[in-house]
Amino acid sequence: MGTVIRHGHDRATSGAKVANTPHSDLVLPYGDQFNDGIVQVSFTLPVAAGALAEEAARQTMKLMGLEEPQVAEVAPIGENATFFVGYGKLTRPVELSKLRIAKPMWEELDQITINRLVQETLGRAMVVVGAATGQDAHTLGLDAILNYKGFAGNRGLEAYSALKVVNMGSQVPNETLVAKAREVSADAVLVSQVVTERNVHLANLTNLVELLEAEGLRDKVVLVVGGPRITHALAVELGYDAGFGPGTRPQDVASYLAQEVARRVLN
Amino acid sequence: MLRLSLDAKTVERCHEISENITSRVIDELSSLSTVAIERTVARFAGIEGVTADGVPLANVLVSHLVEKGKIHDGVAIHLANACLALGKTPAGISEMISRGEIDISNLEWQGTEEVTRKAREICKDSLDKIRARRAEREVLLEQLPVTQTPWLYVICATGNIHEDAVQGRLAASQGADVIAVIRSTGQSLLDYVPHGITTEGFGGTYATQANFKLMRDALDEESHKLGRYVRLVNYCSGLCMPEIAYMGAVERLDMMLNDAMYGILFRDINMERTFVDQNFSRMINAYAGIIINTGEDNYLTTVDAFDAGPSVLASQFMNYHFAKKAGLRDEQIGLGHAFEIDPSIEDSLSYELAMALLVRQLFPDCPIKYMPPTVHKKGDIFTSHVLDSNFNLVSVLTGQTIHLVGMLTEAIHTPLIQDRYLSIRAAAYMRQAAKHLGHNLEVKRGGLLEARATSILDDTLKLLERVNEQGLFAAITEGVFAGVKRLRTGGKGREGVFKKSRWYFSPVEEALRAGLSGESLGEGPIQD
């Protein structure tokens, strides 16, 4: 791979040359000029404002790997707390070609296609059970995906003729969810996790997988988790089939479910 | 001052109809009490401990009477009778029950007059204490006046009450006037109140009497330091609504979230349970001089805010009349609404302004609680900060009273220490910058703002007429509010609702009603 692109410290002498030779594989944060590596940080240190705090902030930024740390703002926000805004330069680029990402392996389908695909592969409606599990009382995400009204103009799963939705609401114990999945012969189980304090969601999500396995249901359902802190990679790592993060529309989930069920039937 | 020209007849009609809707609910449910109300009476009688297994003795007593089929009489007379028969205190009686030593349902009857007198006596200390705490607040508000409005309201939610106390004090020192400690997720569905100081919670800190006290003490200390009284808030909702109201009253909380329909719609708590508990808890709040905060902002998280104006306003009218019936004065009724219209809509800021002004104007003496944008905030904290800035402007411009400070990191995590600092700073800036702007502007007659406000008001009247026609229970069943449908016979906590027997007597209810009739509390504004 190519050499690391470094800027001179003086903007006047470094700018034009480097900016004209963008390297497509090695990237640094982009501030004012290509690959100048400039990042902006803000953080609080539990130190009273003053010269010591400011130096501590600069050192903190150096420990982040930032060169030429500049403290732009020093704000005392409590007896022993100081807030900083700072700028610095990163010098170690990311090599794009070496990155591995967990990419969802499905494409976006429209409502009619989704309904047809499900009917063709299952010969019936697909049963989808959804719940916000454990202590989680937030149904906002779950409702946005399941309720007919949907989210941002995108109709919820209830609006799909080929999906039969059972919305169990919030604070559903994993045991209750598994029992319901068995009762209605669920094809898919959707779990919503909003509360992520102290990683409480991770234990809860793992517990659900274990329960489904113990009940012999794990392979019978498409298991999906969604929430503001969920990524597809995390979901897969936890033993789920897919994970959906912020900005997910009902159509994304429906597209996935239809294609995953079709894949399983065809295999 | 910014003023909308509104049709007085329409406003009057909205009030009349809401009065009617809420009266019917209260009348229909007046023969009912709940296990939560009875546990509250037990707490008034001084039953505050827990068993070795951590079960509150108030629950032990009430479960005992439920088991013996005597709960219909209320706990007060059986407890008073047992105190007289056995020569024990209420706490002593509840401990004996917890050890399985006595059955208070079949003790010898000590005479109705004697028992009634005793029942009043055992609850008297708590009632006195609540009045004393109220008087204490009034003194503190005079000594440590809060001079600026809107009051800046921020939330702590660490799970650890000791940490909350530190963060609450810090936020107050940064300019916050009101500190709310968010409850642990799921507490609303517990049919008991946890006991003691707690250091672990999920997305919040358990509401316990000990935690209330710890937080109150910390904020009192900070109030004296700042020369400005810092108000404390907690959540009076869920299955233990009246018990929490009692605890808040005793520990001098200043505000409690208490919405007439929130539990029904968003927690699937039984309708009858909610309305009955809510009315009783509001009587306690009224007696304690506590400001309630209603939760119409929540509607805007499930339905589109642009369309939801009439359901928010209709709910405010009903919350207002429910509150008045429970004895709350206008100064104690913090009706809620929020800045949640999709910012990508053209003129969204004008529509927000119209709604904020409408609510402000319709309930002129209520401390309106204005909630910040949340739904349309994503990961871009900078844009969120801009959105909050507009919210801050509308709030100051329209004279809102309780301003929940929006956080730039709303969609990401519970606020970091610097998030709170930046957000308070932005709100305080606007409070200064636009202080008299609203007094120097006028609303254009027949313009965009007035047209919007008028159309919401007209639709609110239609909605209220519809609710009035079918009754509130049926309207909720049809999903009129927040698009959520609930059955009268469904929901959690229904088994805890019972019909009062002809022997039923509650010295607490009696005292609250007497107190709220105005004789013992005196008139005049209770807030600064």
DSSP character at residue B443: P
B169-219 tens-digit pLDDT: 999 999 999 999 999 877 888 899 999 999 998 778 999 999 999 999 999
Tell whether A74 and A185 lie within a shared domain.
no
> For every residue of B210-257, which 3-state class applies, written as one string?
HHHHHHHHHHHHHHHHHCCCCEEEEECCHHHHHHHHHHHHHCCCCEEE
Nearest-Cα residue of chain B relative to residue A83: B418
B421: nearest CB among A77, A136, A228: A77
| Pick from A244-248, B126-130, B438-442: least confident | A244-248
Show which of A66, A97, A128 is a domain's final residue: A97
A197: nearest CB among B159, B188, B421: B159
ipTM of the complex model: 0.83
Helix (H) or strand (E) holding B285: helix B271-287
User: What pLDDT sits at residue A14?
Assistant: 38
Q: CB pairs below 8 Å between A and B: how many?
A: 61
Tell whether A75 and A135 lie within a shared domain.
no
Q: Report which of B171, B165, B169, B245 is spatially closest to residue B205, judged by C-alpha positions.
A: B165
CA A189 to chain centroid, in Å, comes to 19
Nearest-Cα residue of chain B relative to residue A140: B302
d(CA A228, CA A246): 5
Chain B hits for A77, Cβ within 8 Å: 170, 174, 417-418, 421
CA B261 to chain centroid, in Å, comes to 11
Helix (H) or strand (E) holding B299: helix B299-302
Rounded to an integer, the average pLDDT of B132-146 is 98
Judged by DSSP in three states, B106 sits in helix
Task: From the candidates B262, B287, B320, B351, give the one annotated as an active-site residue.
Answer: B262
B219-276 tens-digit pLDDT: 999 999 999 999 999 999 899 999 999 999 999 999 999 988 888 988 889 999 999 9
Tell whether A24 and A86 lie within a shared domain.
yes
Print the domain residue range for A92.
Answer: 11-97
Burial of A20 (0-12, 13-18, 19+ CB in 10 A): exposed
Residue A138 distance to chain B (closest CA, Å): 9
B481-518 tens-digit pLDDT: 877 788 899 888 999 999 999 999 999 999 999 988 75
Contact (CB<8Å) B418/A143: no
> Is A190 a domain residue?
yes
B186: nearest CB among A78, A137, A147: A137
Q: Is-catalytic flag, A89?
A: no
- The more confident residue out of B478 and B320 is B320
A246: nearest CB among B302, B378, B418: B378
Contact (CB<8Å) A137/B188: yes
Chain mean pLDDT for chain B: 93
Print the domain residue range for B156.
Answer: 149-451
Residue A135 distance to chain B (closest CA, Å): 6
Q: pLDDT 10s digit of each residue in chain A, 267 long?
A: 333 434 434 333 333 334 445 557 899 999 999 999 999 999 999 999 999 999 999 999 999 999 999 999 999 998 889 999 999 999 999 999 888 776 667 888 999 999 999 999 999 999 999 998 876 666 677 888 888 777 767 888 988 999 999 989 888 899 999 999 999 999 999 999 876 666 778 888 999 999 999 999 999 999 999 988 888 888 999 999 999 988 888 999 999 999 999 988 887
Contact (CB<8Å) A169/B302: no
Residue B293, strand partner residues: B257, B334
Does residue B410 surpass a pLDDT of 90?
A: no
> For every residue of B136-177, which 3-state class applies, written as one string?
HHHHHHHHCCCCCCCEEEEEECCCCHHHHHHHHHHHHHHCCC
Q: Spell B380-389 as b/e; 16+ CB within 10 A means b.
A: ebeebbebbb
Tell whether B161 and B114 lie within a shared domain.
no
Task: From the candidates A149, A164, A180, A220, give the one annotated as an active-site residue.
Answer: A149
Tell whether A170 and A229 lie within a shared domain.
yes
> Is B243 a domain residue?
yes
Judged by DSSP in three states, B398 sits in coil
Task: State the Cα angle at B410 between B407 and B411, rounded to 5°.
Answer: 160
d(CA B83, CA B92): 9
For residue A55, the domain's CATH number is: 3.30.30.60
Contact (CB<8Å) B185/A77: no
Chain A hits for B202, Cβ within 8 Å: 135, 195, 197, 200
Residue A218 distance to chain B (closest CA, Å): 28
Show which of A45, A68, A97 is a domain's final residue: A97
Residue from A171, A201, A202 whose CB has the most chain B CBs within 10 Å, to mutate: A171
Rounded to an integer, the average pLDDT of B268-288 is 95
Judged by DSSP in three states, B392 sits in helix
Chain B residues within 8 angstroms (CB to CB) of chain A:
159, 170, 173-174, 184-186, 188-189, 202-203, 266-268, 301-303, 378-379, 411-412, 414, 416-418, 421-422, 483
For residue B297, the domain's CATH number is: 3.20.20.440
Tell whether A67 and A173 lie within a shared domain.
no
User: What pLDDT sits at residue A104?
Assistant: 65
d(CA B46, CA B39): 11
| Tokens coding A96 | 């794009």
Domain count, chain B: 2
d(CA A242, CA B91): 54
Tell whether A76 and A181 lie within a shared domain.
no
Percent of chain B predicted with pLDDT > 70: 98
